[in-house]
A and B are shown apart, each in its own frame.
Chain A
Amino acid sequence: MNRGAFAPLRLDAVRIGVGGRALILPLTFDVAPGECVTVMGPSGCGKSTLLAFISGTIDPAFVVTGRVLIGATDITAMAPEARRVGMQFQDDLLFPHLSVGENLAFALRPHVRDRTERRARIEHALAEADLAGFARRDPATLSGGQRARVALMRTLLAEPDVLLLDEPFNKLDAQLRGDFRRFVFDHAAERGLPTLLVTHDATDARAAGGRVIDLAWPLSR
Chain B
Amino acid sequence: MRAAPALTVAVFLLPIAAGLVGTLLPAFGYLPAIGGSAFNLDGWRRLASYPGFRSSVAVTLTTGVVTSVLAVFVAFGFCAIAHGLGWMRRIGGWLAPILAAPHSAIAIGLAFLIAPSGWIVRALSPWLTGWTVPPDVATVGDAAGFALVLGLLLKEVPYLVLMIVGAMSQVPVQQHLAIARSLGYASTESWVKTILPQIYPQIRLPIYAVIAFSLSVVDVALILGPSNPPTLAVLAVRWFADADIQFYFPAAAAATLLLLLVVAVIAAWFGVERIAIGLGRRWIARGRRRSGVTFGASVAAGAFGIVFALSLAALVGMALWSFAVQWRFPDALPQAWSLANWMRRLDGLAVPAWQTLLIGAMATAIALVLVVGCLENEARARRRPGAGALWMLYVPLLVPQVAFLFGAQVLLVRANFDGTLAAVVWAHLIFVLPYLFLSLADPWRAFDPRYARTAASLGASPARVLFAIKLPILLRPVLIACAVAFAVSVGQYLATLFAGNGRVATLTTDAVTLAGGADRRVIGAYSLLQALFPLLAYLFAAALPALLFARRRGLAATP
Contact = CB atoms under 8 A, between A and B. Distances in A.
A86 B179 CA distance: 8
Interface in B184-229: 184-187, 190, 193-194, 197-198
Contact of B182 (A80, A108, A112, A118): A80
A96 interface: yes
B174 to A, nearest CB: 8
B551 interface: no
Nearest to A122: B285
A87 B179 contact: yes
B184 A158 contact: yes
Contacts of A55: 178, 181-182
B182 A95 contact: no
A155 B198 contact: no
By size class, the interface of chain A is 20 to 34
A45 B468 CA distance: 41
A91 B171 CA distance: 13
B175 A91 contact: yes
A84 B182 CA distance: 7
A110 B289 contact: yes
A81 B184 contact: yes
Nearest to A52: B178
A106 interface: yes
Nearest to A108: B287
Interface residues of B, number: 25
Interface in B102-149: none
A85 interface: yes
Interface stretch (A22-30, A62-70, A97-105, A185-193): A97-105
A64 to B, nearest CB: 17
A152 B175 CA distance: 15
B184 A109 contact: yes
A103 B129 CA distance: 56
A107 B183 contact: yes
B288 interface: yes
A57 interface: yes
A162 B281 CA distance: 28
Contacts of A83: 182
A9 to B, nearest CB: 14
B197 A154 contact: no
A86 B187 CA distance: 16
Given A81-B181, A81-B289, A107-B183, A89 B175 contact: yes
Given A91-B175, A93-B176, A106 B288 contact: no
Nearest to A60: B86
Contacts of B286: 105, 110
Most chain A beta-carbon contacts within 10 A, residue among B172, B181, B185, B287: B287
B390 interface: no
A79 interface: yes
B181 A158 contact: no
A95 B194 contact: yes
Nearest to A112: B287
A129 B288 CA distance: 24
B284 interface: yes
A145 interface: no
Given A102-B285, A106-B285, A81 B179 contact: no
Contacts of B285: 98, 101-102, 105-106, 118
Given A81-B186, A87-B179, A107 B287 contact: yes
A56 interface: yes
Interface string A135-159: 0000000000000000000110010
Contact of A98 (B181, B190, B281): B281
A39 to B, nearest CB: 18
A98 B176 CA distance: 13
Contact of A106 (B172, B175, B284): B284
Contacts of A93: 172, 175-176, 179
A81 B179 CA distance: 10
A192 B425 CA distance: 72
Contacts of A81: 181-187, 190, 289
Contacts of A106: 180, 183, 193-194, 284-285, 287
A82 B287 CA distance: 15
Given A105-B284, A106-B183, A154-B183, A87 B178 contact: yes
Contacts of A105: 284-287
Contact of B181 (A56, A101, A109, A112): A56
13 contacts: A55-B182, A80-B181, A81-B187, A86-B182, A87-B179, A89-B175, A89-B179, A95-B198, A97-B197, A98-B284, A107-B183, A109-B289, A155-B183
Q: Which 9 A-B pairs have the closest CB atoms?
A: A105-B285, A80-B181, A97-B197, A87-B182, A158-B183, A110-B287, A110-B288, A57-B178, A81-B181
Given A83-B182, A89-B178, 15 more contacts: A55-B182, A57-B178, A79-B181, A80-B182, A81-B183, A81-B184, A89-B175, A93-B172, A93-B179, A95-B194, A95-B197, A96-B198, A106-B193, A118-B287, A158-B183
